[in-house]
Amino acid sequence: MNLPNKLTVFRIILIPVFMLLLSLPLDWGTLTFAGATLPVTHLIGAIIFIGASLTDLADGKIARKYHLVTNFGKFADPLADKLLVMTALIYFVALGWVPAWMVAIIVIRELAITGLRTLIVENNGKVMAAAMPGKIKTMSQMISISFFLLHDMIFAAFNVPFAMIMMWIALIATIYSGIDYFYKDREVFSDGFK
């Protein structure tokens, strides 16, 4: 269990903590800061989410730099990322912050790309690397989720719905990157059209 894998496992452990924080009827008061009023539980949730997101950035860089890439890491790292993001988005639907159709598109894309990655590994033995549109999708999702939890801190003072703007950017990047991945790897399906 090397350091990148430990960070991935730590991120997976944070997911149920994050879930409980958002779902239990905890009343730890509210804070007003930088134009936003938010429950303390949402602030703690934001700290957990941002901390987990930073470990996502760190574990991949450490694994590549020190040649610590493992099959467990290849499997668990993207899974942990998806589980964390999907957990937050599903709770946001329940809270009425994000429309269900938006989250459905994001979930469908993630499932489709996971299936595509599996086919590529089975057929070519290679791992599909993350392309720039996918990285933009991930970054915009993480920024959006963080600012939803922070109730648009800073931007709320100017009545700018920054979290929702970033969610729209994430949605566009989600759709574009999904199409891009399938187009670039379309040869995987060539046997079905002979």
pLDDT by residue (tens digit) across 128-146?
Answer: 656 788 889 989 999 999 9
- C-alpha to C-alpha distance for 40 and 44, rounded to whole angstroms: 6
- Mean pLDDT along residues 91-102: 96
Query: Which positions ≥6 away from 26 have C-beta within 8 Å?
Result: 41
Is 98 a residue whose pLDDT tops 90? yes
Q: Is the pLDDT of residue 59 over 80?
A: yes
Q: What is the pLDDT of residue 125?
A: 64
Read off the pLDDT of residues 103-121 as tens digits, 9 standing for 90 and up: 999 999 999 988 887 787 7
As a whole number of Å, the end-to-end CA separation of the chain is 45
Higher pLDDT, 13 or 78: 13
Average confidence (pLDDT) over 77-84: 87
Exposure string over 75-112, b if 16+ CB within 10 A, otherwise e: ebbbebbbbbbbbbbbbbeeeebbeeebbeebbebbee
Cα 164 to its chain centre, rounded Å, is 15
Q: Please spell the DSSP secondary structure of 62-88, one letter per residue.
A: HHHHTT---HHHHHHHHHHHHHHHHHH
The per-residue pLDDT for 49 is 95
pTM: 0.89
Residue 159's region, left for phi above 0, alpha for psi from -120 to 50, else beta, is: left
Average pLDDT, the chain: 89
Q: What is the pLDDT of residues 165-181, one digit of tens each?
A: 999 999 999 999 999 98
Instruction: Please say if the pLDDT value at position 194 is more than 80.
Output: no
Structural contact between residues 22 and 41, judged by C-beta atoms closer than 8 angstroms = yes
| Mean predicted confidence (pLDDT) in 9-17 | 92
